[in-house]
Amino acid sequence: MPTRLARMPDPRFVAVRGTAMRVIALILFATACSAAGACAPKPSTPIAAPFPTASPAATTSPAATTPASASPTSSSAASESADGSAKAGIVEIGWVGDTTPGSKYGSPPRNGRALFEEVRKQLMAPDLMVGNLEGTFGEGGASKSDRPGSEDSYSFQAPPKNAESLAWAGFDVMSLANNHAFDYFEKGLSATRKALAANGIADTGLPGQITIREANGVKVAFVAFSPYRWNASLADIASASKLVRKAKGQADVVVVLMHAGAEGADKTRTPTGAEKAYGEFRGDPRAFSHAMVDAGASLVLGSGPHVIRGIERYNGKLIAYSLGNFAGWGNFSRSGDLALSGLLTVRVNKSGEVLGGRWLSLKLADPGVPGVDKKNTSAKMVEKLSASDFKDTFQMDSKGNFGPGK
């Protein structure tokens, strides 16, 4: 979404402090969850210890930003995949597109859980589930919509307690690399990070930030980029490549998350060259993604266009340019291609090789809740777009399953 945010009713839219203290906080949270019968960790994902949260002053300074990381509290035996095969040394990573936890159009009931109830089972399945958080957690305060001349802009905010719904749904990492992460400025960004951390969810996307999670004995580094100053910049490809190489030195697998590309119902094709939206530079998605793979990334996962784009196989690695809108209470269109979405899961081994995966077709229903589309509409769409836009891609079957490629 643009810095000026969604222009409703545009047709595209509708309406440490000390280790002891952190451990105590985690124990109290776990106890509360246990009493409520909620928040149980995914069987296939190790429970992560709390990780440091940068201060508001550090969020926009590359030198001051502390990379957030989380490591398992204990090593676990090899987890089992859906078909029962052991996955030691192999990690399954899930990715969904734009997710807005709340806005002026309302906040999802049941502390946000209503937004994910239809697909919770599917979100819980990957070893590491990742999403793009287009919005903030907080309680009021100044927003960029309050500035003169910002009448057509929107600032997205949900109560901090609703961050629990992301953990309940199965998310492990949320990307803050987008324009809405700064809707309530530094204070809002800091509050959002604190709400995520309180629920055991890592974030990524700040300048210089490398976020590391581990599953099945595989260390995975997440780095995220956008065109905006509060994020690691995708405009500076040389610096971005340097950060990815640094991440590769700290982990087995590197996953790059990017918020890039023009947006709208007519932007399903991935062009060559730089893109713009609302007069803003939105990166050169192809050039950026290729450079990230060349620097060591196994996966490049995109968001931003609000519609589905194709998947490219580049040097044996996977680039998904956009998965469209995933979930938003009343602020995303539910018609045509704008209602189509997907849950992409990719299996990667400890050497960073892509072994295959699946595109699960989703569709938004009123008021913006994702559900599984048994007609596999978006899988068919992405397969067609991939074949049209790229020389090399992954061949999908009728249900969206694909192997490692040629």
State CA 99 to chain mean position distance.
8
> What pLDDT score was predicted for residue 154?
77
Q: In the predicted model, is pLDDT for residue 42 greater than 70?
A: no
> What pLDDT score was predicted for residue 51?
33
pLDDT tens string 318-330: 999 999 999 988 7
**Angle at which helices 237-248 and 285-295 cross, to 10°:** 30
Q: Which of 190, 124, 133, 187 is nearest to 156 (CA)?
A: 133
Q: Which of 278, 317, 267 is nearest to 295 (CA)?
A: 317
- The Cα 232–Cα 223 span in angstroms is 8
pLDDT tens string 53-104: 333 333 333 333 333 333 332 233 333 444 434 578 999 999 998 999 887 7
Give backbone dihedrals phi and psi of 129, rounded to 5 degrees, phi first. -105, 130
Q: What's the first-to-final CA gap in the chain, in angstroms?
A: 35
pLDDT tens string 355-377: 999 999 999 999 999 999 999 99
- The Cα 101–Cα 159 span in angstroms is 9
Q: Are the beta carbons of 259 and 303 closer than 8 angstroms?
A: yes
> What pLDDT score was predicted for residue 318?
98
- Residue ranges with strand state E in 179-309: 202-204, 211-215, 218-226, 232-233, 253-259, 276-277, 280-281, 299-303
> What pLDDT score was predicted for residue 149?
63
pLDDT tens string 3-23: 333 333 333 333 333 434 443
Give backbone dihedrals phi and psi of 382, rounded to 5 degrees, phi first. -70, -35
Integer CA distances (angstroms), 199 to 33, 41, 166, 217, 314, in order: 10, 11, 8, 23, 36
Decide which of 308 and 9 is more confident. 308
* Domains identified in the chain and CATH numbers: 19-402 (3.60.21.10)
Percent of the chain's residues with pLDDT above 90: 67
State CA 185 to chain mean position distance.
20
Tokens 């690691």, residue? 232
- The Cα 397–Cα 15 span in angstroms is 36
Decide which of 153 and 40 is more confident. 153
Q: In the predicted model, is pLDDT for residue 45 greater than 90?
A: no
Question: Can you spell out the DSSP letters for 213-229?
Answer: EEETTEEEEEEEEESST
> What pLDDT score was predicted for residue 107?
85
Q: In the predicted model, is pLDDT for residue 29 greater than 90?
A: no
> What pLDDT score was predicted for residue 39?
42
Residue 152 pLDDT grade (very low, low, confident, very high; cuts 50, 70, 90): low
Compute how many other C-beta atoms are within 10 angstroms of the C-beta atom of residue 186: 15
pLDDT tens string 230-283: 999 999 999 999 999 999 999 999 999 999 999 989 999 999 999 999 889 999
> What pLDDT score was predicted for residue 106?
79
Average pLDDT over residues 333-360: 94
Tokens 């409703």, residue? 8
Q: In the predicted model, is pLDDT for residue 113 greater than 70?
A: yes
Q: Are the beta carbons of 173 and 165 closer than 8 angstroms?
A: no
Say whether 160 sits in a helix, a strand or coil: helix
Integer CA distances (angstroms), 178 to 5, 88, 157, 168, 257, in order: 11, 33, 14, 23, 10
Tokens standing for 140?
Answer: 């009021």
Q: Are the beta carbons of 52 and 16 closer than 8 angstroms?
A: yes
Q: In the predicted model, is pLDDT for residue 204 greater than 70?
A: yes
Question: Can you spell out the DSSP letters for 100-141?
Answer: E--BTTB--TGGGGGGTGGGHHHHHSSSEEEEEE-SEE-S--
Q: In the predicted model, is pLDDT for residue 335 greater than 80?
A: no
Mean pLDDT of the chain: 82
Residue 150 pLDDT grade (very low, low, confident, very high; cuts 50, 70, 90): low
